[in-house]
């Protein structure tokens, strides 16, 4: 089962290794990992998609929290969120064979970002299934995919910053600790759709 | 406590990085460190003379780590080990992993090449922080003198917070040589955030209390966490109020007095048969500061099938790791027990305890302690006699192997921090250096090493350290000419194919003599008590070489893949019990 974790970590050398090493020790395969600056200075935001047994989320999260460099961890589970990924795809194309690819790109709302005599490069942003879809269509027929570069999945929860959550963050802000609004801060009383993260949950 | 101006400065003083290291250690209350100098750590050693800290020179850096470990286990304080870069640092690795597996608070300081040449494969350069990533709670590289004090203070905080563990601080040579302002108070680390997944909410506590009050066959599983949390009194109160028997992990021995009528002793792979049977029959397990290690559970699928489980544990990642539990209470053991106790009224119902006692059945008949020795010297007899001679009050440091298990079975520990043993990693060679640490920590206590001939040889060079530091450590070598535990597994599981387990050792008494340490060889049961008495009356260290039965096995044993109550028992064989060795009042 695919688990998605969003971790806020110290922006220091070696943190990436520590996190990756943890997954290695737990024998969990990382499907994708993307990291970059967050809204706070000195804090990086990591999104990790890992293949692990259902129900292992608690242990992974607990183990991540044990790392001194990890400031907060959110196990996205089934929670309502926006997922995006970016891919650059280079396809073999001559002036004669370009046009069908342009049309495909338009259907998928991908952009042509490079044109060369023998190839062109597409840029596409979206959910995984959209990117997988374009790749599949491109690989059918006579097209030759020369290179694919993908960023890995990035995730952000939909609008959970209610005033109650903001208050919790303000308290934690004064202690200089970043906080990801999780089910713990939100609580079910906020009337948001909060899933337990359990794939067998009836909702 | 003597104070030099540099240690408690409230006004910043300008010091070298090396001086800042010692000043910070002194400020953290460190009195003794264990180490071995070298090129990359010369500046640190040069500054030592200005500070009131004792440095114990070992003979191998692994032993510096083990000594720091033994020091921490015996005293409850943080143990400190120091080594140089390269091979000095890598030699610490086994000792650090040993401490990590048993959750021992330790700070290791390693020298490192100058930051200008880091990453160039310089002389004695090694990426020790990379190497120790999985075996430390955290580690640091310090390249600037002004970072030394804050990093060291944070290292001490991490080592002692939550679930304790080792922390490594790698300090480059130029950081040791550079100058910086030192202000101990200003270098204080931010309070450590408690693990965000601690949870002992009221409804979980209520559920636990209900389970405890309604259980008919409860057992308390007492582990190392009881001592780390100083929860001995609370545990005892809970046990006595409801007459709940207490089983112990190896590392938990001593947290609950062995002589107490509710004490079951060690459980697990080499626990007594009735203890494991009781667990399999129980309807409630109250796990306190233990982690359901595989040595304790036997095959997981059939572990305690009828029991609900309450798990009181400070590390959330241990919950449901091996055993699925019904009520996790994640936090400090003592605080949680104190929240539970007011709801537990005393009850005098000894039905379950009587049932457990009757499970003992014919165990006494199979106990080697009670069997006639037919002229052989058994390790169990040696350890039993040692226990009687020391009144059960010594600090015993064991190595790893059969003797370790026999010690757990036959030396009854009454108080915490009196059994020092490598449980999680099972590191041979641990005993002698750890005993050095324990004796430095507790100079007025009697310290005995119990080691096998295999393990003792691994770190025997530390006998020189014992002599150089004038340590009155008593050493019992359980010498059977084999790597006993491996031989036992080959006997039971590999059809008696003894592969590479027969081992030749030096005459340990002569070896001790070469160090100026007196000793004695014991071949017969009747010689045991006199030799122990000689050791105890000797004014310095003493080594006794016990030549024991070569092919004896630790019983009972749960073979891998077996359930907790499927034990291999010692054959009863028509031996009749000897009255002499029955339990003393």
Whether residues A68 and B134 touch (CB distance < 8 A) is answered with: no
| B-proximal residues of A, 66-105, CB under 8 Å | 66-69, 72-73
| B-proximal residues of A, 49-68, CB under 8 Å | 58-59, 61-63, 65-68
The pLDDT of B105-119, averaged and rounded, is 97
Judge whether B452 and B403 are in contact, CB under 8 Å.
yes
Interface check for B316 against chain A (CB to CB < 8 A): the answer is yes
Per residue, the 3-state secondary structure of B133-148, as one string, reads HHHCCEEEEECCHHHH
Confidence of residue A161 (pLDDT cuts 50, 70, 90): confident
- The pLDDT assigned to B365 comes to 67
- The pLDDT assigned to B374 comes to 81
Among B138, B197, B321, whose Cβ lies nearest the Cβ of A68? B138
Share the mean pLDDT of chain B: 94
Q: Which of A9, A16, A53, A58 to mutate to test the interface with B (most CBs of B within 10 A)?
A: A58
- The pLDDT assigned to B544 comes to 98
Kindly report the number of other CB atoms within 10 A of residue B68's CB atom: 36
The pLDDT of B495-518, averaged and rounded, is 97
Q: What is the DSSP string of A86-154?
A: EEEEEEE--TTTHHHHHHHHHHTT-EEEEE-SSEEEEEEEE-HHHHHHHHHHHHSTT-EEEEEEE---E
Whole-Å CA distances, A40 to A3, A44, A47: 25, 8, 16
Confidence of residue A107 (pLDDT cuts 50, 70, 90): very high
Q: Would the pLDDT of A194 be above 80?
A: no
Q: Would the pLDDT of B578 be above 70?
A: no
Confidence of residue A191 (pLDDT cuts 50, 70, 90): very low
Confidence of residue B381 (pLDDT cuts 50, 70, 90): very high
Whether residues B134 and A65 touch (CB distance < 8 A) is answered with: no
DSSP state of B255: S
| B-proximal residues of A, 153-182, CB under 8 Å | 177
Whether residues B195 and A62 touch (CB distance < 8 A) is answered with: yes
The pLDDT of B407-415, averaged and rounded, is 97
Burial bucket for residue B489 (CB in 10 Å: 0-12, 13-18, 19+):
middle
Q: Would the pLDDT of A103 be above 60?
A: yes
Give φ, ψ of B148 to 5 degrees.
-65, -50
First and final CA of chain B: distance in angstroms? 44
Q: How many helices (H) and strands (E) does chain A have?
A: 6, 9
Helices (H), ranges, B107-231: 128-131, 148-160, 173-177, 202-214, 224-228
Whether residues B197 and A65 touch (CB distance < 8 A) is answered with: yes
| Shortest CA distance from A179: residue in chain B | B196
What is the spatial distance between Cα B65 and Cα B242, in angstroms, rounded to a whole number? 42
Interface check for B127 against chain A (CB to CB < 8 A): the answer is no
What is the spatial distance between Cα B449 and Cα B430, in angstroms, rounded to a whole number? 10
- The pLDDT assigned to B239 comes to 97
What is the spatial distance between Cα A79 and Cα A10, in angstroms, rounded to a whole number? 25
Residue A74 neighbours by CB under 8 Å, 6+ apart: A5, A6, A7, A157, A180, A182
Considering only residues B4 and A28, tell me which one the structure prediction assigns the higher pLDDT. Answer: A28
- The pLDDT assigned to A166 comes to 76
Q: Which of B196, B198, B322, B330 to mutate to test the interface with A (most CBs of A within 10 A)?
A: B196
Judge whether B264 and B356 are in contact, CB under 8 Å.
yes
Lowest average pLDDT, out of A102-116, A165-179, B527-541, goes to A165-179
Q: Would the pLDDT of B585 be above 50?
A: no
Length of chain B equals 585
Helices (H), ranges, B102-191: 128-131, 148-160, 173-177
Q: Would the pLDDT of B501 be above 90?
A: yes
Residues of B within 8 A of A14 (CB-CB) are: 129
Among B134, B193, B317, whose Cβ lies nearest the Cβ of A62? B317
What is the spatial distance between Cα B497 and Cα A200, in angstroms, rounded to a whole number? 50
Whether residues A65 and B158 touch (CB distance < 8 A) is answered with: no
How many interchain CB pairs under 8 A, A with B? 40
Give the DSSP H or E segment for B115. none
Kindly report the number of other CB atoms within 10 A of residue B162's CB atom: 20
Among A14, A17, A59, whose Cβ lies nearest the Cβ of B321? A59
Q: Would the pLDDT of A197 be above 70?
A: no
Q: What is the ipTM of this complex?
A: 0.89
| Residue among B455, B418, B422 at smallest CA distance from B95 | B422
* Residues of B assigned a catalytic role: 61, 123-124, 173, 485
Q: Which of B118, B197, B311 to mutate to test the interface with A (most CBs of A within 10 A)?
A: B197
Confidence of residue B523 (pLDDT cuts 50, 70, 90): very high
Among B158, B195, B320, whose Cβ lies nearest the Cβ of A65? B195
SS3 B151: helix
Confidence of residue B11 (pLDDT cuts 50, 70, 90): low
Tokens of A179: 């906080």
Among A18, A72, A73, whose Cβ lies nearest the Cβ of B133? A18
* Per-residue pLDDT reduced to its tens digit, B438-497: 999 999 999 999 999 999 999 999 999 999 999 999 999 999 999 999 999 999 999 999
Q: Would the pLDDT of B582 be above 50?
A: no
Whether residues A58 and B319 touch (CB distance < 8 A) is answered with: yes
Confidence of residue A188 (pLDDT cuts 50, 70, 90): very low
Q: Would the pLDDT of B2 be above 50?
A: no
Interface check for B195 against chain A (CB to CB < 8 A): the answer is yes
Interface check for A150 against chain B (CB to CB < 8 A): the answer is no
- The pLDDT assigned to B528 comes to 97
The pLDDT of B181-190, averaged and rounded, is 95
Tokens of B114: 């100058």
Whether residues B315 and A66 touch (CB distance < 8 A) is answered with: yes
Kindly report the number of other CB atoms within 10 A of residue B316's CB atom: 25
């Amino acid at each position: 089962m695919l688990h998605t974790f969003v971790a806020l970590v110290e922006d220091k050398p070696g943190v990436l290794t520590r996190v990756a090493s943890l997954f290695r020790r737990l024998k969990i395969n990382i499907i994708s990992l993307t990291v970059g600056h967050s809204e706070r200075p000195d804090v990086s935001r990591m999104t990790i998609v890992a293949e692990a047994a259902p129900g292992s989320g608690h242990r992974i999260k607990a183990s991540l929290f044990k790392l001194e460099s990890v400031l907060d961890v959110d196990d996205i589970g089934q929670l309502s969120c926006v997922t995006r990924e970016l891919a650059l795809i280079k396809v073999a194309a001559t002036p004669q064979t370009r046009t069908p690819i342009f049309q495909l790109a338009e259907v998928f709302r991908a952009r042509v970002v490079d044109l060369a005599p023998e190839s062109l490069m597409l840029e596409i942003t979206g959910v995984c299934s959209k990117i997988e879809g374009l790749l599949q269509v491109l690989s059918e027929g006579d097209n030759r995919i020369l290179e694919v570069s993908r960023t890995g999945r990035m995730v952000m929860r939909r609008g959970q910053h209610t005033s109650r959550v903001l208050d919790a963050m303000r308290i934690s802000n004064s202690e200089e600790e970043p906080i990801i609004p999780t089910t713990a801060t939100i609580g079910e009383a906020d009337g948001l759709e909060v899933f337990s993260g359990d794939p067998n949950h009836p909702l | 406590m003597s104070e030099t101006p540099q240690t408690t400065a409230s006004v910043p003083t300008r010091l070298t990085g090396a001086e800042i290291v010692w000043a910070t250690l002194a400020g953290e209350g460190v009195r003794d460190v264990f180490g071995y100098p070298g090129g990359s750590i010369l500046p640190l050693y040069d500054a030592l003379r200005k500070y009131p800290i004792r440095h114990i020179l070992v003979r191998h850096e692994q032993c510096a780590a083990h000594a720091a470990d033994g020091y921490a286990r015996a005293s409850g304080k943080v143990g400190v080990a120091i080594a140089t870069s390269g091979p000095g640092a890598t030699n610490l690795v086994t000792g650090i992993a040993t401490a990590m597996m048993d959750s021992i608070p330790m700070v290791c300081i390693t020298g490192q090449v100058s930051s200008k040449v880091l990453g160039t494969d310089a002389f004695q350069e090694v990426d020790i922080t990379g190497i120790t990533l999985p075996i430390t709670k955290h580690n640091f590289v310090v390249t600037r003198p002004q970072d030394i004090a804050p990093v060291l203070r944070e290292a001490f905080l991490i080592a002692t917070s939550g679930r304790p563990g080792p922390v490594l601080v790698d300090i480059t040579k130029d950081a040791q040589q550079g100058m910086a302002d030192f202000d101990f108070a200003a270098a204080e680390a931010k309070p450590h955030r408690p693990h965000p997944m601690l949870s002992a909410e009221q409804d979980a506590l209520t559920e636990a209390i209900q389970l405890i009050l309604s259980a008919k066959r409860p057992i308390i599983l007492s582990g190392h966490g009881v001592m780390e949390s100083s929860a001995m009194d609370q545990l005892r109160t809970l046990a006595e109020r409801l007459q709940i028997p207490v089983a112990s992990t190896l590392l938990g021995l001593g947290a609950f007095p062995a002589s107490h009528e509710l004490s079951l002793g060690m459980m697990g792979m080499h626990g007594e048969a009735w203890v494991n049977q009781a667990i399999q029959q129980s309807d409630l397990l109250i796990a306190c500061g233990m982690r359901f290690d595989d040595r304790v559970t036997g095959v997981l699928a059939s572990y305690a099938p009828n029991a609900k489980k309450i798990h009181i544990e400070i590390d959330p990642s241990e919950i449901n790791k091996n055993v699925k539990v019904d009520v996790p209470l994640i936090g400090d053991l003592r605080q949680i027990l104190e929240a539970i106790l007011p709801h537990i009224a005393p009850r005098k119902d000894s039905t379950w305890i009587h049932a457990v006692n009757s499970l003992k059945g014919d165990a006494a008949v199979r106990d080697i302690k009670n069997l006639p020795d037919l002229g052989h010297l058994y390790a169990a007899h040696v350890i039993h006699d040692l226990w009687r001679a020391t009144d059960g009050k010594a600090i015993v440091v064991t190595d790893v192997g059969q003797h370790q298990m026999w010690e757990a079975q036959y030396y009854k520990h009454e108080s915490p921090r009196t059994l020092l043993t490598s449980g999680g990693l099972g590191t041979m060679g641990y005993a002698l250096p750890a005993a050095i640490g324990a004796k430095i920590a507790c100079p007025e206590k009697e310290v005995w090493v119990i080691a096998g001939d295999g393990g003792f040889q691994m770190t025997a060079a530390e006998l020189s350290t014992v002599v150089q530091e004038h340590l009155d450590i008593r050493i019992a070598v359980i010498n059977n000419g084999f790597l006993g535990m491996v031989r036992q597994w080959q006997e039971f599981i590999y059809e008696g194919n003894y592969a590479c387990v027969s081992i030749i050792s030096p005459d340990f008494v002569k070896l001790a003599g070469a160090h100026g340490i007196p000793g004695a060889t014991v071949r017969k049961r009747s010689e045991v008590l006199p030799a122990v008495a000689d050791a105890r009356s000797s004014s310095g260290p003493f080594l006794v070489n016990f030549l024991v039965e070569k092919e004896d096995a630790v019983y009972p044993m749960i073979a891998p893949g077996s359930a907790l109550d499927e034990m291999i028992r010692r054959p009863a064989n028509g031996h009749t019990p000897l009255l002499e060795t029955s339990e003393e009042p």
